[in-house]
Structures are given as structure tokens and as C-alpha cells.
Amino acid sequence: MQVTMTVNGTEVTREVEPRLLLVHFLRDHLGLTGTHWGCDTSNCGTCVVWMDGEPVKSCTVLAAMASGHEVRTVEGLAHEDGTLDPIQQGFMRCHGLQCGFCTPGMMMTTRALLDRDPHPSESDIREAISGQICRCTGYATIVRSVRWAAEHPDGAVPAAEEEPAAAEPATEPAATEAAQPVPTGSAS
């Protein structure tokens, strides 16, 4: 059967079997391998992409079911000019990833969380990622990364304007944070 959907802003049409899962459509047919696939039981959440703006587990959606819908993957998270989304910057700065396997799904879920609630509490963040498994970081740094993104809705200031001390932001996130104006009304 023929499926047509918009993936990261571009319309794509392919001939597929009805039984093809969306995760395999993205990876194998479109070469978008940022979306990972880690279980067969809808438990690990590493395959999370957006369908019509909402996170879904793409291993539990048929490509056929996504036809006619708008899909966004981690490849479509950065801004058009190449600037990383604040969530991506947060994961870089606050050690939100180690092996990176769970990271695309985590970023898609937490970006959607911030879109709905720009000032989530720590428990809101933990609740949002509760359907996702990370075998490396232990979640504390993931939560910290999301908080960083919430506190920096426009991302980091361009590198040229940053203090030299912030040139190695991953090792000194506190110094970087201190250099940033904290938006009023941020999560306490």
C-alpha cells in the first residue's frame, strides 16, 4: 500500500507493506536512524517520535496508521539554521547522555513536555519520562538537562558572547548557569 506523511516538514510517499511499523519506516525506508528501537514490548521509549505534535512510541504505530499525519523525529528537532534546540543543548551541557541510545526519545518527550508546560517541576519531568528507560545515566542528569532547557527557553547565548569560563560548559554547568540570566517565573 502507499503511505504519504510529512516527516520533519517534508512530504514523503512510499510503497510499504501494511504490517510495517513506523519505527522501521523511519529508519529503513527514510534512513532517519536517530529514532532508535530497543524493545518489542512498547516499554523502553527509545523510539519516541511526534505524531501531530504528541509523543508516540513509533514501534507501536503502523506506518499505515501514520499516513496522512505529521511526524517529527529527532533529526527535525534542531532549528532550521542548525542551532540546537535548548533541549539538545541541555543534554550536552548537563551530561544528559552517556551512550546516547535513549537520548533521541528522551529529547522528543521532554521537548513536548516543555511545549505544554514551560516550567515543569522535577516530578513533572520524571513523570514525563517514566515510559522511557535509560541504562546509563540514572536519570538525575536527564532531569537536570530538562531543567536547564526550561531555564533557557532561547538556548545558550552564542559562544562568542560567553564568558571564557563557560567554554567547557559540560564540566562546569553551574558556572554556565550562573552566567545566564534566569528567566522570571522559572520552576522553583
Ligand X SMILES: Cc1cc2nc3c(=O)[nH]c(=O)nc-3n(C[C@H](O)[C@H](O)[C@H](O)COP(=O)(O)OP(=O)(O)OC[C@H]3O[C@@H](n4cnc5c(N)ncnc54)[C@H](O)[C@@H]3O)c2cc1C
Binding site for ligand FES (CB under 6 A): 37-39, 42-47, 57, 59, 97-103, 134-137
Select from ligand FES, ligand X, another protein, none the partner in contact with residue 102, using the beta carbon and a kind-dependent cut-off of 5 to 8 Å. Answer: ligand FES
Size of the site for ligand X (CB under 6 A): 2
Residue 44 touches which member of ligand X, another protein, ligand FES, none, C-beta under 5-8 Å by kind: ligand FES
Name the residue nearer to ligand X (CB basis): 42 or 121: 42
The grid coordinates listed for 90 are 541541555
Helices (H), ranges, 49-161: 63-66, 86-93, 103-116, 122-128, 140-151
If the CB atoms of residues 39 and 140 are measured against ligand FES, the closer one turns out to be 39
- All three cell numbers of 157, joined, read 547565548
Indicate the SS3 state at residue 121.
Answer: coil
Q: Give CA separation, 92 vs 119, 120, 145, 158, in Å.
A: 20, 20, 8, 15
Residue 94 or 166: which CB sits closer to ligand FES? 94
Comparing C-alpha atoms, which of 12, 28, 48 is closest to residue 133?
48
Q: In the numeric block, which cell numbers belong to residue 41?
A: 514490548
Instruction: Please identify which residue in 6, 14, 24, 43 interacts with ligand X, judged by CB under 6 A.
Output: 43
Here the cell at position 21 is 511499523
Chosen from ligand FES, another protein, ligand X, none, partner binding at 8 (C-beta under 5 to 8 Å by type): none
Q: Which of 4, 42, 121, 171 binds ligand X (CB under 6 A)?
A: 42
Question: Would you tell me which residues interact with ligand X (CB under 6 A)?
Answer: 42-43
